[in-house]
Amino acid sequence: MTRLNLTQANINRRSALTGLLAISASGALAACGQSSAATEAVQEFDVLGYAKPTKFFSGSEMRALGAMADTIIPSTDTPGAVEAGVPDVIQGLASEWGDDNFRQYWREGIRRVYKTLSGETKFLAMSPEEREAVLGAYDAKVYAGEIEDTFYRDMKKTVATAYYMSEPGATQELAYEAVPGEWIGQAPISKYPKTWAT
Amino acid sequence: MADFDFVVVGSGMSGGWVAKELCERGFKVAVVERGRPIDPVADYTDMVDPWQMEHLNLKGPDTYADYPIQSEVYAFHSYTKQFWVKDGEHPYETPEGQDYKWRRGHHVGGRSIMWARQSYRMSEIDFTANKRENFAIDWPVRYADIAPWYDHAERFAGISGSTEGLEILPDGVFQPPHHFTIAEEKFKAAVEASFPGRKVIPGRAANLTQPTEEQTALGRGKCQARDHCFRGCSFGAYFSANSATLPAAERTGNLTLITDVAVHKVLHDEATNRVTGVQGVNVKTNEGVTITGDAVFLNASAIVSPLILLNSATEYAPNGLANSSGQLGHNLMDHFSGARGYGRMPASLQSHYYGRRPNGFYIPRFRNHTEEGEGFSRGYGYQGRIYRNSWSGRVDRGGVGSDYKAGFREPGEWWFGVVAFGEILPRFSNHVRPHKTKTDRWGFPVPIIDAKHSDNEINMVRQATRDTRAMMAAAGMDLIRGDDPDTAMPSAPGDGIHEMGTARMGRDPATSVLNGFNQSHDIPNLFISDGSFMTSAGCQNPSLSYMAFSARAADHAGKLMKDGVI
């Protein structure tokens, strides 16, 4: 058997996954390096606010994550990240899928980025426009290489992945055919103008 | 009186063919499968939508713990892992400092469920390669011997492909090919213009693009262009033992499928020098099982089939049954992959495509054929695809908000990806042997798999890497990512999932295990028609050859039995 699964899409998907998994190994070290900032950040969160013991992220962590996710992928003419259930997917990853390193990496990452984005006005208290301006400025620095923030990029990739695998992301924002029925190698873009969801 | 006319060990790619051919000739056949039955409704996951996938279909820590080796396979993910063995339950060893990637599943159909469906004939150039180079031993068959059986296998299995008239890659009985994207068409034109000996053709895949009546009658349907094949196909649209050969065998009323029985030994009667059946263990109950037959086919893979015979040693055959040549377990081959290249392909963004093609393009071997190779014999073919960059290729990109979101909605640029698959030479030193003391939990010896690449494979992958770059440059691509021609290495032995050669066929019983009909030189009613028989590897994906040789061997064995010879 040989592999034909080497479209760029798959390669990038795989490296996205590798990124997520590398987290498990590197998470503990990263956590040590940021411990004082993390401790400080922890104080802003209601650590006891777990809705259920099976949910790893607290209510305040989920609100912070949701605000960031919805700023990365807002609702437009199609639903945004929160409406598509993205924070719940990430809650599931932390609660049921990942190991302790993964959980720690994400908890500290969410808190640290949230704190970074919050000035006198907390990120959650900002209007959507303010959130986009603040997060956009931070994102620009990360992608310009001025700030190295692997967690932020992992979070962004995960938010986007969860969004485009969600039903609204796949079927409304993009185009999805569960059973295409046939392969047509060439067709005008006007006939199929959207990115295929899978 | 034996229980069956034939006992076939293994229900996968080759065993299914043996069962079909023998059952259709009126023989009573037992197929003994070490794995579990497959229930398409419960086991196939091809109807799961992306949003139904738990945890984004990411492989988690538990998966890596259970499947450290299998999880590396391109076809392995959370919705296909039911088809792969849990590594901890099925140990094997390699010598210190060596690696071997043994990828497999234990269930009815074997790897015919998870295979990549690429189906190519070997050519006269392949069947005469050892002889021309005076390397290893000559094949006892020529292309003309097997060509009608390739026809037979293709007609029944259903192979999509294009007729090209190439000596290196003979044409066959094809269903309509999967057409190229506009970028692939442009790549083809550029490569063929720059390198007159090279061709870029549609991949030949065992996916039905125009089912025949025979296929429809088996409940098989047209390929729905979903490209979820590794999850199993509810439409039976790609060839598997489960969709095609086993149902064909079953409908004759002559098939008995015995699952969850691991065969450990082939039984042999010294007085008559005949095998009389197989002995094994029910892997669920640990009870011993004996199944008798007038002849035995081994189709348990090129790792397990020789081990069963080596484990069947008696006073009569102290080095293992059917091993008077001493070649059993040796000459282990595979195909290496390597020479990967990824890049942006300049082509019209006004063209798109519809559906998900379970296939791609293929570049047949040209080295040591139309062009010389530097420092190696034999050659390699390439497989690749050129698609618009999908959403997942664009997630790690600057920007937030509606601009970032808008950057996904339209198809991205054209992205090219290619990988070469190269021939590995048969070498005696590359082999599988049973561990002297360690067994699995059912009492079967732990395999020791000892295989290394030689300079031939290393020089080959480096040439292939140079060729990858040259073809990308000829098509106007920048190399975005790819192997370095100075340091490229072939993938680890076994990684091609094409293990073969461990009971090679040949004319001389002193140097080969099987004759040209997959029949043991030593024991006339013993046959092996999994990849073990291969005398050399070619660089083509081998399953189609296993099908053709299995059908031919079963036909021959049937004739011998009818004539009272075996």
Among candidates A8, A181, A194 on the partner chain, residue whose Cβ is nearest the Cβ of B410: A194
Per CB-CB distance under 8 Å, the chain A contacts of B14 are none
- Does B541 sit within 8 Å of A191, measured CB to CB? no
Cβ partners under 8 Å of residue B43, min gap 6 = B82, B83, B107, B232
Residues B131 and B13 in one domain: yes
Residues B354 and B447 in one domain: no
Residues B143 and B192 in one domain: no
Residues B270 and B385 in one domain: no
B535-561 pLDDT, tens digit each: 999 999 999 999 999 999 999 999 999
Residue B74 resides in a domain: no
Instruction: Give the pLDDT confidence score for residue A21 in this predicted structure.
Output: 38
pLDDT for A8 beyond 70: no
Residues B326 and B438 in one domain: yes
- Does A192 sit within 8 Å of B393, measured CB to CB? no
> Which of the residues B47, B56, B117 would you substitute to probe the A interface, choosing the one with the greatest number of A C-beta atoms within 10 Å?
B56
Residue B194 resides in a domain: yes
Angle at B271 between CA B269 and CA B274, to 5 degrees: 40
Q: Residues 263-292, chain B: which have Cβ within 8 Å of A?
A: none
Question: Across all residues in chain A, what is the average pLDDT?
Answer: 82
What share of chain B in percent tops pLDDT 90? 98
- Does B411 sit within 8 Å of A196, measured CB to CB? yes
- Check residues A97 and A22 and name the one with the higher pLDDT: A97
**What is the CB neighbour count within 10 angstroms for residue B510?**
12
Shortest distance, CA B479 to any CA of chain A (angstroms)? 12
- Does B357 sit within 8 Å of A11, measured CB to CB? no
Report the alpha-carbon distance of residue A83 to residue A74 in Å, rounded.
9
- Does B61 sit within 8 Å of A1, measured CB to CB? no
pLDDT for B529 beyond 60: yes
Search chain A and give the residue with CA nearest B51: A166
Q: Give the number of domains in chain B.
A: 2
- Does B391 sit within 8 Å of A164, measured CB to CB? yes
Domain that holds residue B182: 176-204+335-423+454-489
Among candidates B178, B340, B415 on the partner chain, residue whose Cβ is nearest the Cβ of A7: B415
Per CB-CB distance under 8 Å, the chain B contacts of A176 are 49-50
- Does B408 sit within 8 Å of A9, measured CB to CB? no
- Does B58 sit within 8 Å of A136, measured CB to CB? no
- A126-145 as b/e, with b when 16 or more CB fall inside 10 Å? beeeebbebbbebbeebbee
Instruction: Give the pLDDT confidence score for residue B478 in this predicted structure.
Output: 82
Residues B3 and B124 in one domain: yes
Q: What is the ipTM of this complex?
A: 0.94
pLDDT for A18 beyond 90: no
Residues B348 and B401 in one domain: yes
Cβ partners under 8 Å of residue B12, min gap 6 = B109, B110, B111, B112, B241, B299, B301, B530
pLDDT for B467 beyond 70: yes
Among candidates B224, B385, B408 on the partner chain, residue whose Cβ is nearest the Cβ of A4: B385
B406-453 pLDDT, tens digit each: 999 999 999 999 999 999 999 999 999 999 999 999 999 999 999 999
pLDDT for A70 beyond 90: yes
Would you say the pTM of this structure is higher than 0.90? yes
Residues B505 and B563 in one domain: yes
Among candidates A2, A13, A153 on the partner chain, residue whose Cβ is nearest the Cβ of B116: A2
Per CB-CB distance under 8 Å, the chain B contacts of A196 are 356, 390, 411
Report the alpha-carbon distance of residue B477 to residue B474 in Å, rounded.
7
The mean pLDDT of B141-163, rounded to a whole number, is 98
B75-86 pLDDT, tens digit each: 999 999 999 999
The mean pLDDT of B42-61, rounded to a whole number, is 96
Residues B195 and B256 in one domain: no
pLDDT for B215 beyond 50: yes
Residue B59 resides in a domain: no
Report the alpha-carbon distance of residue B370 to residue B387 in Å, rounded.
29
Question: Across all residues in chain B, what is the average pLDDT?
Answer: 97
Q: What is the CATH number of the domain that holds B1?
A: 3.50.50.60
Residue B310 corresponds to which tokens in the numbers above?
Answer: 């080596």
Instruction: Give the pLDDT confidence score for residue A53 in this predicted structure.
Output: 54
Search chain A and give the residue with CA nearest B181: A185
- Does A8 sit within 8 Å of B387, measured CB to CB? yes
B343-372 pLDDT, tens digit each: 999 999 999 999 999 999 999 999 999 999
Among candidates B54, B353, B543 on the partner chain, residue whose Cβ is nearest the Cβ of A185: B353
Per CB-CB distance under 8 Å, the chain A contacts of B388 are 195
Query: What three-state secondary structure class fits B486?
Result: coil
Helix axes A128-143, A59-72, angle to 10 degrees: 80
Instruction: Give the pLDDT confidence score for residue B315 in this predicted structure.
Output: 87
3-state secondary structure B334-379: CEEEEEEEEEEECCCCCEEEECCCCCCEEECCCECCCECCCCCCCC
Beta-carbon contacts below 8 Å between A and B: 257
Residues B289 and B315 in one domain: yes
Per CB-CB distance under 8 Å, the chain A contacts of B354 are 177, 180, 182-184, 187, 191-192
A89-145 pLDDT, tens digit each: 999 999 999 999 999 999 999 999 999 999 999 999 999 999 999 999 999 999 999
Per CB-CB distance under 8 Å, the chain B contacts of A170 are 49-51
Instruction: Give the pLDDT confidence score for residue B409 in this predicted structure.
Output: 98
Report the alpha-carbon distance of residue A60 to residue A83 in Å, rounded.
18
Residues B317 and B282 in one domain: yes
Q: Is B442 on the interface with A (CB under 8 A)?
A: no
Q: Residues 220-249, chain B: which have Cβ within 8 Å of A?
A: 222-226
pLDDT for B63 beyond 60: yes
Residue B220 resides in a domain: no
Among candidates B114, B185, B392 on the partner chain, residue whose Cβ is nearest the Cβ of A12: B392
Residues B286 and B403 in one domain: no
Per CB-CB distance under 8 Å, the chain A contacts of B360 are 4
- Does B352 sit within 8 Å of A143, measured CB to CB? no
Q: Is B389 on the interface with A (CB under 8 A)?
A: yes
Residue B409 resides in a domain: yes
